[in-house]
Amino acid sequence: MSMAPGPGILAAFEAAKGFMPVDEGLALYEAAAGAARLGLPLLEVGTYCGRSTVLLADAARAAGVTALTVDHHRGSEEQQPGWDYHDPETVDPELGLMDTLPTFRRTLHRAGLEEHVVALVGRSPQIAALWASPLALVFIDGGHTDEHATADYEGWAPHVAEGGLLVIHDVFPDPVDEFTGQAPYRVHLRALASGAFTEVSATGSLRVLRRTGPGA
């Protein structure tokens, strides 16, 4: 299986709304393609408009597995009106609330990947509490508060299969990035300290860890 997306998938990734740069996207794809060989689903927490979902879905398609993506689609803290990452196009005009689900579905449709993705619409801890199956990859890219990042880790990391990957986005060790990346950084440190995960690679703010022991 190719460890890099084809030009059409890369173009779909770049065209989608979102914040992941190309180098991190390529690292995510390589991780997903490798993990998918375990024959288990790939799961991301934090769908937004489907930019990274395109990469996971293509890697899943190539391996004959399914990509799962978890989001309530009402936007995280930094995406609300008045914040730097707010996009007015993602607001439901009737409700006046963010709703990224329609944009996400368009992203998947344009990429030809709808049948390879199951979208789980709801809050991550609620869905994780119902989950009982092993996963080849868990990609944590949800809310950036300690509450949300910690809940995503505690809810989903235990489901990473032996040899599977835990991928964490927006890991910024510098305290100047407190709002955007300190909570994911603390989750990254916790994963390493747990003894359950060993770091495989770092690309920009993306960290790839492999399960090498029990626990989380």
| Predicted TM-score (pTM) above 0.95 | no
- Catalytically annotated residue among 72, 73, 116, 144: 144
- Helix axes of 22-35 and 7-15: crossing angle, nearest 10 degrees: 130
| Longest CA pairwise span in the chain (Å) | 49
Write out pLDDT tens, residues 125-178: 999 999 999 999 999 999 888 999 999 999 999 999 999 999 999 999 887 766
- How far is it, in rounded angstroms, from Cα 123 to Cα 58? 25
Q: What is the pLDDT of residue 178?
A: 61
Q: Report whether 167 contacts 209 (CB < 8 A).
A: yes
Query: Does residue 2 sit in helix, strand or coil?
Result: coil
pLDDT at residue 44 tops 70: yes
pLDDT at residue 2 tops 90: no
Q: Which amino acid, one-letter code, is at 178?
A: E
Q: Which amino acid, one-letter code, is at 32?
A: A
Write out pLDDT tens, residues 86-116: 567 778 788 778 899 999 999 999 999 999 9
Average pLDDT, the chain: 92
Q: Is 144 a catalytic residue?
A: yes
